[in-house]
Structure 1
């Protein structure tokens, strides 16, 4: 997905504002397995996925807990670093070779002060990320594992082909054995 499409999905900008924003965005590529963002570190930039898939996870004593997958066209951001310039909670790992667009957070915040359209774009960006987080929390609190799996199949069926089942089980908050049972039940 190209950067114009990604920007417009968040909030359409006038051409002059979009061009101003784009001049500070660079393309980068990284290999599968790279940890793009590490927990407990301030991340000074945000990314947008041009191609590939990533996962956000936290580590506990025994394992990693995956709580989000990022796909083409989506922002990849540590909101704690973005908003407060403090270390984030999550690590972000590339699950495929990825092509990304990178934007320095400090540059974006400076643009907020120069251009009201970019400032509104930034507000919409943050609002969208908040809604995604809210939906995730509600899903975890009120839906069964079977319902969460069916939601995944409906909303992001391509994850099943592109992501290890262990990561999907973790994302659903269940063991791989439970995921296998659910998959068998649905068949």
Structure 2
């Protein structure tokens, strides 16, 4: 996915502002299994996925709990670091080899101060991520595991092919055994 497409799907800005923003991006690649962001760290970069898939998770004494997947076009950032320059609570692991667009958050903040169009783009990015977080929270609170799985199949059908079932079960808040039962009943 091109950086132009990614930027435009967040918020369309004038071409001159977009060109200014694009100058601050670097393309980076990392292998499957790489930990892109670490919990308890103030992250100084934001990423956008050109190619690949990632998961966000939090560690507990017993296991890791996956709470988000990102794929082509999605931003990958610690909202705590992006918004408040505070330590994040999540680790981000690459589930496939990934190609990413990277930008320093200090560069972003400086650009926001200088260009209202870029500031509005940054606001829209934060708003979209807030809405996605709210949707995940509401789904987790008010939908059954089966409903959450069926929603996942509708909204992200390729996720089941690209992600280990253990990560999907964790994301849904169920065991792999329960996920297997749900999958068996669906077919």
* TM-score between the two structures when normalised by the length of structure 1: 0.99
Shift of residue 115, structure 1, vs aligned partner: 0.4
For residues 50-84 of structure 1, the C-alpha deviation after alignment (integer angstroms, 9 at most, x for no partner) is: 00000000000010000000000000010001011
Segments ≥4 residues shifted beyond 3 Å: none
CA distance in 2 between counterparts of 1:109 and 1:94 reads 26
CA-atom RMSD, angstroms?
Answer: 0.4
CA distance in 1 between counterparts of 2:131 and 2:77 reads 14
- In the alignment, does 2:148 pair up with 1:148? yes
Shift of residue 120, structure 1, vs aligned partner: 0.4
Query: Which segments of 5 or more consecutive residues in structure 1 lack a partner in the other structure?
Result: none
Shift of residue 103, structure 1, vs aligned partner: 0.6
The residue that corresponds to 2:109 in the other structure is: 109
Shift of residue 14, structure 1, vs aligned partner: 0.5
1:133-172 superposed matches below 5 A: 133-172=133-172
1:17-166 superposed matches below 5 A: 17-166=17-166
CA distance in 2 between counterparts of 1:42 and 1:109 reads 15
The residue that corresponds to 2:178 in the other structure is: 178
Shift of residue 12, structure 1, vs aligned partner: 0.5
For residues 126-179 of structure 1, the C-alpha deviation after alignment (integer angstroms, 9 at most, x for no partner) is: 000000000000000000000000000100010111000000000000000000
* TM-score between the two structures when normalised by the length of structure 2: 0.99
CA distance in 2 between counterparts of 1:90 and 1:10 reads 23
Shift of residue 40, structure 1, vs aligned partner: 0.6
Instruction: For residue 62 of structure 1, give the secondary structure of its aligned residue in structure 2.
Output: coil
Instruction: For residue 92 of structure 1, give the secondary structure of its aligned residue in structure 2.
Output: strand
